[in-house]
Structure 1
Amino acid sequence: MNKRMGVIAIIVKDRKFSSPKVNEILTEYGEIIIGRMGVPYRGKKLNVIALIVEANTDQIGALTGKLGMIPQVEVKSILITK
Structure 2
Amino acid sequence: MEKRLGIIGIIITDRFKTAPEVNEILCEYGSIVVGRMGLPFKDRGVNIIDLIVEATTDEVGALTGKLGMLEGVRVKSLLV
TM-score normalized by structure 1? Answer: 0.97
Query: 1:52 aligns to what?
Result: 52
- Structure 1, unmatched stretches of 5+, are none
**Alignment RMSD, CA only?**
0.3
1:34 and 2:34 aligned: yes
Write out the 4+ residue segments of structure 1 that deviate beyond 6 Å after TM superposition.
none
Letter in 2 for 1:27: C
Query: 2:61 aligns to what?
Result: 61
Task: Determine the C-alpha separation between the residues in 1 that align with 2:39 and 2:55.
Answer: 24
TM-score normalized by structure 2? Answer: 0.99
Task: Determine the C-alpha separation between the residues in 2 that align with 1:11 and 1:64.
Answer: 12
1:2 and 2:2 aligned: yes
| Percent identity between the two aligned chains | 59
